Amino acid sequence: MKNNSWVLTTLLSVITSVLVLTSVNETYINNNFSVVISLVSGSVSLVLMAASCILAIRVRFFEKLFGGLDRVYEQHKWLGIWALILLGYHFLVRAGIRGPDSQSIIQAPKALAHVIQGFAAIGLAAIIVTSLNRNGIRYSLWRWIHKLSGVVFLIAATHWLTARNVVPFISPAGIWMAVLCALGAAAFIYRLVMYDLVHKGKAYVVTEINQFPRGMQLAVKPKDKAIDYHPGSFVFLSFKKKGMSEPHPFSVASAPKEDGSLSFVIRSEGDWTRKLRKELEVGTPLQVTGPYGKFHRTNNGESEVWVAGGVGIAPFMAWLENMTEPPKSPIHLYYSYREDDAIVDIDQLQTLAEEKGVAFTALCSTKGETLQQEHLNVIESAKDKIQAYYCGPEGLCMALQGLMRKTGIPANQLKTELFNFR
């Protein structure tokens, strides 16, 4: 497993910086170094925001390019983070650009330019505050404030067009930024206005609800056409009920069936999922959009290790259900859970695994049972022939990576699904 979330941000930052610096007179750079640094940071910020908006429209090409929608959103997140950091620096430095070589692309009153900067600063502050306290606010409020980042991008683009600048519009840097800003603005408007109309998903209805102390298992059935998916995929669920219409991603916990029904394992850890567990009823209609994700078995290893934590068991349940014959190579499934908030029936899960020929070990963390090096040492295959899969909290993933290093299993033999979207 490789973490390449920094690659796109670095690539776009380097390209933009080089283009801007080569478009500015060398003498001007030497005499106005702080101004040029502010200019570069603002330009890079604008490009990163544009790219972040483009990735947000969930184009299938990007999913294939980055290896799944979860990876696309990881790129989207870090593009946004660094864009806001650089934009904040640009506004704090506020290095005014002067000189005979500076001019505005679009002439605007000076007062309007100050208003634009003020709105951008307010929006930037709101996004930073909510990002630092994202677990302390309602998801619906967070989601709308998150959309404000697109508005900040449009304001920043307007600032670029109306502020005095030493980078000519008809230059490699100017054209580069203009093209990306145009694409970013189109993507943001499409995502805000048109996306939900174009991607309506498929109509389903809730057919079964099994309650657990800290979550629920949910079954839904299509009203007409069902989605077509591979085990390990995830979808977005949007319920036709007040306060539950915001789409949320969940891994499908069942194999494809003839009647198109789907199962999900949902933990109640946020305001939306707690409301879902408390108020959702059988018969509630919903929209299912997808599938997304690339967390699929590759069958590359002589042996396989599946490790899941909490609701991360969902894609492995789909894999188990989808197995029609005993595996040709040994498979070990390790499931870490908390006894006080279990969201699946452990006995049923063990029975399913045994029926499919998969070795199963439940690890109850509240009893001190954790994944150990000995669990990986029992696998008899050569270490470079073991294929590992993981889905669950980040902490357990880091523990698994550490155990793999100690055991000698190469890091690139681990395939994961990024657990947190928000």
Domain end position, chosen among 141, 175, 198? 198
Identify the CATH number of the domain in which residue 402 sits.
Answer: 3.40.50.80
- Are 9 and 16 in contact by the 8 Å Cβ rule? The answer is no
Q: What is the arithmetic mean of pLDDT over 160-175?
A: 83
Residue 363, pLDDT score: 93
Q: What is the arithmetic mean of pLDDT over 236-243?
A: 92
Identify the CATH number of the domain in which residue 207 sits.
Answer: 2.40.30.10
Structural domains in the chain (count) = 3
Q: Do both 161 and 77 map to the same domain?
A: yes
User: What percent of the chain is predicted at pLDDT more than 90?
Assistant: 43
pLDDT beyond 70 at 94: no
pLDDT beyond 80 at 376: yes
pLDDT beyond 60 at 76: yes
pLDDT beyond 70 at 197: yes
Residue 422, pLDDT score: 45
Looking at per-residue pLDDT, the higher value among 295 and 165 belongs to 295
Domain end position, chosen among 255, 272, 292? 292
pLDDT digits (tens, 9 = 90+) for 1-31: 455 678 899 999 999 999 999 988 777 777 7
Q: What is the CA radius of gyration of the chain?
A: 25
pLDDT beyond 50 at 380: yes
Among candidate residues 240, 380, 361, the one with its CA nearest the CA of residue 302: 380
Mean pLDDT lowest for which of 21-35, 119-133, 336-350, 356-370? 119-133
Q: Do both 229 and 136 map to the same domain?
A: no
Q: Do both 177 and 314 map to the same domain?
A: no
Helix axes 172-189, 7-23, angle to 10 degrees: 140
Number of H helices and E strands in the chain, helices first, is 14, 11
Q: Do both 21 and 169 map to the same domain?
A: yes
Q: Do both 273 and 315 map to the same domain?
A: no
Looking at per-residue pLDDT, the higher value among 164 and 74 belongs to 74
Confirm whether 298 is domain-assigned.
no
Q: Do both 222 and 163 map to the same domain?
A: no
Neighbours of 133 (CB within 10 A): 10
Residue 15, pLDDT score: 97
Mean pLDDT lowest for which of 50-54, 148-152, 232-236, 258-262? 148-152
Domain end position, chosen among 198, 226, 253? 198
Residue 191: which H helix or E strand, with range? none
Q: Do both 232 and 188 map to the same domain?
A: no
pLDDT beyond 60 at 71: yes
Distance, CA of 215 to CA of 196 (rounded, Å): 28
Compute φ and ψ for 28, nearest 5 degrees.
-65, -40
Domain span including residue 26: 7-198
Residue 103, pLDDT score: 65
Q: Do both 271 and 308 map to the same domain?
A: no
Residue written as tokens 């001190």? 368
Q: Do both 142 and 174 map to the same domain?
A: yes
Identify the CATH number of the domain in which residue 122 sits.
Answer: 1.20.120
Q: Burial, 331: exposed, middle or buried (Cβ in 10 Å; 0-12, 13-18, 19+)? A: buried
Confirm whether 297 is domain-assigned.
no
Q: Do both 124 and 13 map to the same domain?
A: yes
Residue 128, pLDDT score: 61
Output the average pLDDT for the chain.
85
Residue 151, pLDDT score: 84
pLDDT beyond 60 at 145: yes
Among candidate residues 389, 224, 247, the one with its CA nearest the CA of residue 318: 389
pLDDT digits (tens, 9 = 90+) for 270-316: 788 889 999 999 999 999 999 999 899 887 667 899 999 999 999 99
pLDDT beyond 60 at 346: yes
Confirm whether 151 is domain-assigned.
yes
- Are 299 and 331 in contact by the 8 Å Cβ rule? The answer is no
Q: Do both 14 and 115 map to the same domain?
A: yes
Among candidate residues 381, 382, 383, the one with its CA nearest the CA of residue 404: 383
Q: Which residues pair with 212 in a beta bridge?
A: 215
Q: Do both 45 and 137 map to the same domain?
A: yes
